[in-house]
């Protein structure tokens, strides 16, 4: 899906354009019984946006996951070490970078809707500066991975293997931060179709690089994280060249500017709550992996919970595509001054996300045996995964709702409120229940996941009540615009 260009050179997003043509029509009119269930025209616009975003986010995430899959076939220790390393990356790297870039969804989205096009490039550069600083801090932390994991009572052998993996993945965190910022910059302008090709190319290259490094280097295990780092940097270079040289960005990207440094501290006011909002949720999932390491037979339980977490995250890639559509749609409409249309778009996105979530659950139900074979050949882990699959399906369904609501929160600039919601629902409700059921009953790994479901259910309910009852008419683009 692309943005169109008007006669005066102004870029107009497809998600906003049709509504601007006739301001008096707040809802499209499509006949038939289907329209009673869902606004078909609005749904089609969102699907055209979200499907490319789903594929794009999935392809980029598979770059890191393919490396874990390849490393995991060396044995149970390597599987546990690489999956724990991937979880450590999600906790300290992925969550932070995705969260920091989330501020661009608010600022660039509402700025685009308000036609303040020149500010999008400034916001992007300010966000990249912040990402660079945080990447340096995170890379220093990663060099102490083994000591930290041992302090968290993880198996010394698994911790040592994870630390080796993270050592060679350090260059990847810098690339990942820049990658997320450029994606948000493009997303808020409804530039998504091209992203499918720009993300598929690095993934295909990554499969070749990973296979070559794993089979032609010694020790071969470190070839997996090295390949992931290389492929992520290839992704950044492709996107950067696209933004710099494509004519469609003449108004939103005017080149590098020292002026962006003036916005760094002001940008942090929204970026830090955005990062906290995302991190609190990601950390709750990854704490499950650490807790699994404290259960009997940690190689099996750590691998099982880590695989469940990765499966949940892949399912969330589907939700995140719709979440991106909701965020862009809401922020564009609020920036243009149409809060009623923003709320209508949210309702349509929720229905779509529930439908796609159910489709993923059906696929997992009938294909879980095939899916688990991609991670391991261990019969014990396969048996355990089959027993926890129904619980995984419930959490995926809840995630399909809260993911969209989180996108709405980012589009409106309500990240600071979501921080408190996530803190209470996951850390005062979900995790205590997980510890109780996981360590005080015979449920063990299943008990950990049941507690997580309780936290997700509470989070989803609170966000739904909050967004549904909020007075959207009081929102406008100036509520979250950076001011010096």
Other beta carbons within 10 angstroms of residue 365's beta carbon come to 12
- Whether the bond between 66 and the residue before it is cis, its omega within 30 degrees of 0, is no
Query: Coil, strand or helix: which one is 321?
Result: helix
Query: Coil, strand or helix: which one is 480?
Result: coil
Average pLDDT per run of 10 along the chain, which is 484 residues long? 44 44 43 62 80 87 87 76 85 90 86 83 93 95 92 86 92 95 90 91 93 77 90 96 90 86 86 90 82 81 82 80 83 78 83 85 82 79 85 90 88 85 94 92 88 93 83 46 39
What's the DSSP call for residue 169?
Answer: T
**Of 363, 78, 342, residue with least CA distance to 221:** 78
Residue 33 confidence (pLDDT): 54
Residue 184 confidence (pLDDT): 92
User: Which residue is it, tokens 């601007």?
Assistant: 20
Per-state percent for the chain, helix, strand, coil, to nearest 5: 80, 0, 15
Exposure string over 377-388, b if 16+ CB within 10 A, otherwise e: ebeebbebbeeb
List of residues 6+ apart from 237 with CB closer than 8 A: none
Alpha-carbon Rg for the chain, nearest whole angstrom, is: 22
Evaluate whether 479 touches 413 at the Cβ level (below 8 Å).
yes
Evaluate whether 464 touches 401 at the Cβ level (below 8 Å).
yes
Residue 45 confidence (pLDDT): 79
H or E segment to which residue 11 belongs? strand 11-12
List of residues 6+ apart from 421 with CB closer than 8 A: 459, 462, 463, 466
141: burial class by Cβ within 10 Å (0-12, 13-18, 19+)? middle
Residue 18 confidence (pLDDT): 44
């Amino acid at each position: 899906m692309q943005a169109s260009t008007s006669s005066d050179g102004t870029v107009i997003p497809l998600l906003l354009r049709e509504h601007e043509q006739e301001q008096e029509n707040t809802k499209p009119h499509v006949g038939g019984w289907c329209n009673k269930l869902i606004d078909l025209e609005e749904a089609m616009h969102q699907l055209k946006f979200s499907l490319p975003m789903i594929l794009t986010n999935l392809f980029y995430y598979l770059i890191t996951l393919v490396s874990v899959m390849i490393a995991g076939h060396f044995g149970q220790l390597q599987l546990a070490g690489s999956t724990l390393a991937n979880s450590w990356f999600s906790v300290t790297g992925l969550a932070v970078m995705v969260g920091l870039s989330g501020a661009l969804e608010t600022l660039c989205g509402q700025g685009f809707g308000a036609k303040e096009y020149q500010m999008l490039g400034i916001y992007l550069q300010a966000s990249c500066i912040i990402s660079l600083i945080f990447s340096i801090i995170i890379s220093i932390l990663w060099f102490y991975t083994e000591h930290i994991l041992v302090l968290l009572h993880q198996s010394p052998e698994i911790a040592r293997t994870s630390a080796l993996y993270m050592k060679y993945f350090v260059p990847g965190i810098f690339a990942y931060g820049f990658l997320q910022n450029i994606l948000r910059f493009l997303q808020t302008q409804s530039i998504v179709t091209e992203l499918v090709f720009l993300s598929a190319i690095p993934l295909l290259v990554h499969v070749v690089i990973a296979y070559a490094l794993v089979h032609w280097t010694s020790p071969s295990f470190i070839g997996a994280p090295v390949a992931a780092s290389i492929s992520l940097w290839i992704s950044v270079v492709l996107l950067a060249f696209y933004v710099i040289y494509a004519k469609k960005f003449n108004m939103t990207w005017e080149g590098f500017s020292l002026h962006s440094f003036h916005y760094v501290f002001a940008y942090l006011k929204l970026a830090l709550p955005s990062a906290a909002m995302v991190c609190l949720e990601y950390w709750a999932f990854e704490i499950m992996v650490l807790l699994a390491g404290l259960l009997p037979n940690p190689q099996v339980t750590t691998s099982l919970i880590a695989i469940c977490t990765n499966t949940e995250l892949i399912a969330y890639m589907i939700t995140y595509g719709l979440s991106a559509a909701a965020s862009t749609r809401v922020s564009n409409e609020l920036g243009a001054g149409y809060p009623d249309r923003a709320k209508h778009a949210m309702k349509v996105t929720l229905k779509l996300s529930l439908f796609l979530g159910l489709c993923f659950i059906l696929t997992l139900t009938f294909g879980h045996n095939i899916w688990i074979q991609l991670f391991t050949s261990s019969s014990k882990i396969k048996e355990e995964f089959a027993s926890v699959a129904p619980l995984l399906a419930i959490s995926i369904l809840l995630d399909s709702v809260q993911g969209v609501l989180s996108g709405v929160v980012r589009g409106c600039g309500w990240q600071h409120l979501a921080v408190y919601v996530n803190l209470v629902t996951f850390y005062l409700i979900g995790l205590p229940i997980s510890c109780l059921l996981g360590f005080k009953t015979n449920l063990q790994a299943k008990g950990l996941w049941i507690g997580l479901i309780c936290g997700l259910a509470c989070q989803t309910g609170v966000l739904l009540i909050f967004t549904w009852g909020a007075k959207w008419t009081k929102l406008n683009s100036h509520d979250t615009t950076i001011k010096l």
